[in-house]
Structure 1
Amino acid sequence: MVPTRTMAVAVLAAAALTGVARAADAPPLSVPAKVLAVPTADISPQMQAFIAKPLNPDWNFHPKTGAEWRAMAEKIAAGVVPGLPAMRERLHVKSEPGTIAGVKVTVVTPDTIPPANADKVVIHVHGGCYVYFPGESGTTEALMMAGFGGYKVIAVDYRMPPDAYFPAALDDAMAVYRDTIKTTSPRNVAIEGTSAGGALVLEMVAKAKQDGLPMPGAIAPGTPMADVTKTGDSFYTNEFVDNVLVSPSGFCDDAAAFYAHGHDMRDPLLSPVYADMTGFPPAILTTGTRDQLLSNTVRVHRKLRRAGVEADLNVYEGESHAQYQFDDRVPETREAFTEIAAFFGRHLGR
Structure 2
Amino acid sequence: MRRSSGGIRMVVARQLGITTLLCAAMEMTGPAAGHAQTANSPMLEVPARAVPVPTTVSSQMAKIIGLPLRTNWNVLPKTGEEWKPVADAGAAAIIKNIPGMTERLHVKVEKTMIDGVRAFVVTPDTIPPDNRNRLLIHVHGGCYVLNPGEAALPEAMFMAGFGHYKVIAVDYRMPPEAYFPAALDDGMTVYKNALRTMDPKNVAIFGSSAGGALTLEMILKAKQDGLPMPGAIAPGTPMSDVTKVGDTFVTNAMLDNVLVSPDGFCDAGTKVYANGHDLKDPLLSPVYGDMQGFPPTILTSGTRDLLLSNTVRVHRKLRQAGVDAWLQVYEGQSHAQYYRDDTSPEAKEAFEEIAGFFDKHLGK
Instruction: Answer yes or no: same fold by TM over 0.5.
Output: yes
Bigger Rg, which one: 1
Q: CA deviation at 1:63?
A: 1.4
Of residues 259, 264, 285 in structure 2, which corresponds to 1:250?
A: 264
TM-superposed CA distance for 1:68, in Å, is: 2.2
The separation in 1 between residues aligned to 2:55 and 2:312, in whole angstroms, is 24
**278, 281, 286: which one aligns with 1:272:** 286
Q: Does 1:27 align with 2:48?
A: no
Q: Which residue is equivalent to 2:31?
A: none
- Any unmatched runs of 5+ in structure 1? 1-22
* Number of positions where the alignment pairs a residue of Structure 1 with one of Structure 2: 327
Does 2:139 match 1:125? yes
How much has 1:177 moved relative to structure 2? 0.2
Matches within 5 A, 1:1-350: 25-41=40-56, 43-349=57-363
Q: How big is the shift at 1:24? A: 8.1
1:76 aligned counterpart, secondary structure: helix
Q: Which stretch shifts more, 334-343 or 29-38?
A: 29-38
Taking the aligned partners of 1:53 and 1:135, their CA distance within structure 2 comes to 26
Shift of 1:305: 0.2
Return the letter of the residue paired with 1:200. Answer: L
1:182-237 Cα shifts (integer Å, max 9, x gaps):
10100000001000000000000000001000000000000000000000000010
Contact 2:78 2:268 in 1 (8 A): no
Q: Distance in 1 between matches of 2:141 and 2:39?
A: 34
Deviations 1:154-191 (A, max 9, x none): 00000000110000000000000001011010000000
Kept in 1: contact 2:229–2:295 (CA 8 A): yes
Quote how far apart the aligned CAs of 1:309 are. Answer: 0.1
Could you say what the CA RMSD is over the residues aligned between the two structures, in angstroms?
1.1
Letter in 2 for 1:34: R
Amino acid at match of 1:75: A
Equivalent position SS for 2:51: coil
C-alpha separation between the residues in 2 aligned to 1:66 and 1:178? 28
- In the TM superposition, residue 25 of structure 1 has moved relative to its aligned partner by 3.4
Q: Which amino acid aligns with 1:29?
A: L
Q: Is the 8 A contact 2:78 2:272 kept in 1?
A: no
CA distance in 1, matches of 2:86, 2:309: 28
Q: What's the secondary structure of 2:189's corresponding residue?
A: helix
Contact 2:77 2:269 in 1 (8 A): no
Question: Percent identity of the aligned residues?
Answer: 65
Structure 1 distance, partners of 2:86, 2:192, is 32
Q: TM-score, normalised by structure 1?
A: 0.92
Residue 141 of structure 1 aligns with an amino acid whose one-letter code is: E
Equivalent position SS for 1:25: coil
CA distance in 2, matches of 1:335, 1:322: 14
Q: Which runs of 4+ in 1 moved over 6 A?
A: none
The CA deviation string for residues 79-127 of structure 1, in whole angstroms up to 9 with x for no partner, is 0111111111111110100001110000001111000000000000000
Aligned mates of 1:26, 1:80 — CA distance in 2: 42
Looking at structure 1, the residues matched to 327 and 321 of structure 2 have their Cα atoms a distance apart, in angstroms, of 15
CA distance in 2, matches of 1:195, 1:150: 22
Q: Which residue identity is paired with 1:27?
A: P
Describe the shift of the 1:73–1:187 C-alpha distance in structure 2 as closer, same or farther (beyond 3 A): same
The gaps in structure 2 that reach 5 residues or longer are 1-37
Shift of 1:64: 3.5
User: 1:253-311, CA deviations, whole angstroms, 9 ceiling, x for partnerless residues?
Assistant: 00010000000000000000001000000000000000000000000000000000000
Q: C-alpha distance in 2, partners of 1:65/1:252?
A: 13
In structure 2, how many angstroms separate the alpha carbons of the residues matched to 1:64 and 1:92?
Answer: 40
| TM-score, normalised via structure 2 length | 0.88
